[in-house]
Structure 1
Amino acid sequence: MKNEKQSFSLRVAKVAVRSLIEEVELTPKPGLVDRVNTGAHRDLTIQLMRTSAESLADTFEQIAFISYGRTPSQSLREEIAAIGRNGEKRMFEVTCGVNTHKGAIWAIGLLVSAASIEKGRCTIEQIVTLAGEIARFPDRYCPSTSTNGRNVTATYGVVGARGEAQQGFPHIIQFSRPMLNRSRENGLIEEKARLNALLSLIAHLDDTCILHRGGPEALSFAKREAASFLTNGNFNWLETLDEEFIRRNISPGGSADLLAATLFLDKIQANKSVDEVQEEYVYSK
């Protein structure tokens, strides 16, 4: 049993890391780091993002291991939160203090925990439901320090990353996952299908990263332009949109985190075990 638990935890962690790397390598992404440029960020590079993602493998493995076969509870919530905070510390060490994946640690960490509760034998809907249950438990040891996300949610009355998780990741279920599947069914190559999924998130999510940088005006612009892209389907236009996002200092980081979470869930589909998924998505540095 222990070997099975260890094997599962290692594999699901590799899937999580691979999903983060696939997100950053997707190109072109408006305002975000990709293979062409660093988007609206002067302190990030694609290699730094890759290094950050790789540094989180142990974090996700520990979350999976501690969650394996458990049920949602306050104690589980607090245990994985402690692991997540250690993961953040490790992330900041390898990035020299740059926040690369704090939001992704929260979102994907919860999904890793939820998938591990059912030992990988569950549907995507079951995973997000369990993740929501975990997220709704209070963490008595959560630092009360001010963060950009907390300040934005308080200022603008949006739910933020915490609310998204507590509600069972509705933007993934309603927008990015259906868009990803629909784009594939329509014959688009994988990169374009994933870009469509990302733009569907930008078009609908009250992205706190955008709000933090540019306020409601920037968010309205980003949503409107993303919706326009989804209507016209002109992928060549994404490069122009990238330039405009950079000019306006817009970075849809919350949407990027949810895209990575979408890709993670996509690898753990209802009719596949993590073992089968791992054979398709071999993680390598």
Structure 2
Amino acid sequence: MHAFNLQPKTLNLAERLADMAVDALIDEADLSPKPALVDRRGNGAHTDLHLGLMHASALSLWPAFKEMADVAINIGEISLPLREAVGRIGREGELAMLDTTAGVNTHRGAIWALGLLVTAAALEPESTSAAAMTLRAARLALLDDRYAPRPLSHGAQVAQRFGARGAREEAQLGFPAVTQRALPQLKRSRADGHGEQNARLDALLAIMTQLVDTCVLYRAGEEGLDTMQLGAQAVLDAGGSASLAGRRRLHELDQQLIALNASPGGAADLLAACLFIDRVESGESFIQGAF
């Protein structure tokens, strides 16, 4: 059969959600210029990451996201069996990611955040507002996975040490950094005509102004966290990413965080969550799949 005669495959709900989760991760990675993060310019504050690795990692997670959506559709309700199935799939997805990246942690936090949101969207595809999805994700995150390993991640250790809110608590509260900061800023910047890339950068900065980013705390302590929060606010106060003054502030923040070896990976994970929610929420024909 001639290639031009091939008809595109109609994707089912789980496949479309997995596509959107991977797209959100790739869009986050490609977004430039992000302060001290991997982007199209370079590796930011990292020595073991690069853009191609971020893309490969994101693509490796597609089967896990699809399986999470499938199990949500099959179980059909927020319950301990669903929480434990999603936890198992997430851990298997993490192993696939680490196999792809030769052991480098590229998206561990994003697997948690996006996995919960993919599951939440699959549970009730007719109810995909940001508020509804994050509420379902929070209810699921509050359930205790009996099979989860107990050793604390770097983020959890830092959260415990500094009394900060880690990724787990952020999810259990319904992703307030996304719903209260990132999404409103994304929509404001779009409405002001700043362009999509600048609007996404502004959304990232809005997260950074208040998030107690455990990745930054782990790498640079409270000095790094203060630099991130105050610097991000300074960019927005100067007019945001679309203004010349804002771009100058953004460049200064990038240089300051790199000098401190402080990469806001937690904020990046939440930006990916924001982009996923925005994509799902704006899909007028989501149930029918007419994207």
Contact 2:213 2:266 (C-alpha < 8 Å) held by counterparts: yes
Identity of aligned residues (%): 43
Partners of 1:160 and 1:212 in 2: how far apart?
12
- Larger relative contact order (C-alpha < 8 A, sep ≥ 6)? 1
What does residue range 104-119 of structure 1 map to in structure 2 within 5 Å? Answer: 104-119=110-125
Q: Could you give the per-residue CA deviations for residues 60-119 of structure 1, whole angstroms, max 9, x where no partner exists?
A: 000001001611111110000000000000000000000000000000000000000002
Contact 1:124 1:270 (C-alpha < 8 Å) held by counterparts: no
Aligned to 2:5: none
Aligned to 1:61: 66
* Aligned amino acid, residue 250 of structure 1: A
Aligned to 1:183: 189
Aligned to 2:254: 242
Q: Report the Cα offset of residue 278 of structure 1.
A: 6.6
Q: Report the Cα offset of residue 276 of structure 1.
A: 7.2
Partners of 1:59 and 1:141 in 2: how far apart?
18
For these two proteins, the number of residue pairs brought into alignment is 275
Quick check: 1:92 aligned with 2:104?
Answer: no
Q: Could you give the per-residue CA deviations for residues 140-192 of structure 1, whole angstroms, max 9, x where no partner exists?
A: 00101231012111101111100000000111111000000000001110000
Contact 2:90 2:111 (C-alpha < 8 Å) held by counterparts: yes
Gaps in structure 2 of 5+ consecutive residues: 1-10, 240-245
What does residue range 54-203 of structure 1 map to in structure 2 within 5 Å? Answer: 54-68=59-73, 70-203=76-209
Partners of 1:226 and 1:189 in 2: how far apart?
19
**SS at 1:274 equivalent:** coil
Does the C-alpha gap of structure 1 residues 55 and 120 become closer, same or farther in structure 2, counting only changes over 3 Å? farther
**SS at 2:12 equivalent:** helix
Quick check: 1:232 aligned with 2:238?
Answer: yes
Aligned to 1:262: 274
Aligned to 1:18: 23
The 10-residue stretch of structure 1 (130-139 or 228-237) with the greater mean CA deviation from structure 2:
228-237
Does the C-alpha gap of structure 1 residues 271 and 96 become closer, same or farther in structure 2, counting only changes over 3 Å? closer
Contact 1:267 1:277 (C-alpha < 8 Å) held by counterparts: no
The 10-residue stretch of structure 1 (143-152 or 76-85) with the greater mean CA deviation from structure 2:
143-152
* Aligned amino acid, residue 253 of structure 2: L
Q: Report the Cα offset of residue 277 of structure 1.
A: 7.4
Contact 2:228 2:253 (C-alpha < 8 Å) held by counterparts: no
Does the C-alpha gap of structure 1 residues 145 and 254 become closer, same or farther in structure 2, counting only changes over 3 Å? same
Contact 2:205 2:236 (C-alpha < 8 Å) held by counterparts: yes
* Aligned amino acid, residue 265 of structure 1: I
Q: Report the Cα offset of residue 246 of structure 1.
A: 0.8
Q: Could you give the per-residue CA deviations for residues 205-251 of structure 1, whole angstroms, max 9, x where no partner exists?
A: 00000000111121011101111111002124323321221111110
Gaps in structure 1 of 5+ consecutive residues: 1-5, 280-285
Partners of 1:235 and 1:77 in 2: how far apart?
42
What does residue range 28-43 of structure 1 map to in structure 2 within 5 Å? Answer: 28-43=33-48
Partners of 2:251 and 2:288 in 1: how far apart?
36
Partners of 1:268 and 1:102 in 2: how far apart?
22
The 10-residue stretch of structure 1 (214-223 or 113-122) with the greater mean CA deviation from structure 2:
113-122
Contact 1:15 1:278 (C-alpha < 8 Å) held by counterparts: no
Higher Cα Rg: structure 1 or 2?
A: 2
* Aligned amino acid, residue 39 of structure 1: G
Contact 1:11 1:278 (C-alpha < 8 Å) held by counterparts: no
Does the C-alpha gap of structure 1 residues 22 and 278 become closer, same or farther in structure 2, counting only changes over 3 Å? farther
Contact 1:71 1:117 (C-alpha < 8 Å) held by counterparts: yes
Contact 1:11 1:275 (C-alpha < 8 Å) held by counterparts: no
What TM-score do the two structures reach when normalised by structure 1? Answer: 0.93
Partners of 1:274 and 1:232 in 2: how far apart?
37
